[in-house]
A and B are shown apart, each in its own frame.
Chain A
Amino acid sequence: MTLITILLGLCVGVLVGLLGIGGGVVLVPAMVYLLGMDQHLAQGTSLFILLPPTGLGALREYWKQGQVDWRAGILCALGILLGAYGGGLAALPIPSRHLKGWFGWFLVASAILLWRKGQLEGRARAGER
């Protein structure tokens, strides 16, 4: 179990660097289905994993390429800090089963947004040629 957990962390990390995400969106379902955790417990643990700057190594690679907007990043960080507290308080009284369902819909919506972004890029690149 310990080995699975460590390997899971590595796999999630590759996605973190590759896609510029925090990893929680993969960690939460992985902990629910692979490690058999309750939805609330998985979400709380995911927030704990995101506490240290795990993306720092990946950020350095982007920074070397000049692909970082610090001002926008800091503004977003402030917004997330405040919003997350409100979201956390809202999540706690929701029954685990309902929260699991809502999490599923959240994944579906994120997937559509990510897909749509990929499409726009494809079109922009075709236009450049």
Chain B
Amino acid sequence: MGNGRMGAGIGRDAGIFLVGCICGVASGLFGVGGGVLLVPLLALLFSFGQHRAQGTSLVALIPPTGALALMAYAREGFVSWRTGILLIPGVFLGGVAGGLLAKKIQPQRMRQVFAGILFALGAWQALEAWWR
């Protein structure tokens, strides 16, 4: 397990676990998987290559990591089960297509475009919430 390239050991493990905790807080707070933070953090802090960071992030998203947070939301009635069930198959099938596509193209440009869209979307949402 692991490739032992960079400072393998308890310190690195602890650091990765801590990064996981931070991504988890964001995950519960904002209802996201946490991968959007995990991918850049693994790359910036632990010098993962781009494909490796993305593959590893997908591992972290396989177990039902949001289960405890989901229970907290469900208790308050903040879950639309029907919409969720309609979205799940598409996300799975699209994921296979995206994974195949990622091997063929250089995802760097793609990610910068995505970052740009995310930035615009976030700024818009933040301003809208602030103004009203």
Question: How many A-B contacts at CB < 8 Å in the complex?
Answer: 465
Say whether, besides A46-B31, A76-B17, A121-B50, A107 and B122 are in contact (CB < 8 Å).
yes
Contact of B32 among A15, A25, A121 (CB under 8 A): A25
B93 x A57 contact (CB < 8 A): yes
Identify which of residues 85-106 in chain B touch chain A, using a CB-to-CB cut-off of 8 Å: 86-103
CB pair B69–A88 under 8 Å, yes or no, is yes
Asked if A5 and B23 sit within 8 Å, CB to CB, the answer is no
Count of chain B residues with Cβ under 8 Å from any Cβ of A?
Answer: 107
Q: How large is the interface on A (under 10, 10 to 19, 20 to 34, 35 or more residues)?
A: 35 or more
Q: When chains A and B are docked, how far (Å) is the Cα of A100 from the Cα of B128? A: 9
Residue of A nearest to B20 (CB): A79
B78 neighbours in A (Cβ, 8 Å): 38, 40-41, 43-45, 92
Minimum CB–CB distance for A123 against chain B, Å = 11
Chain A 1-22: CB-based contact to B (< 8 A → 1; otherwise 0) = 0100111111111111111111
Residues of B within 8 A of A41 (CB): 78-80
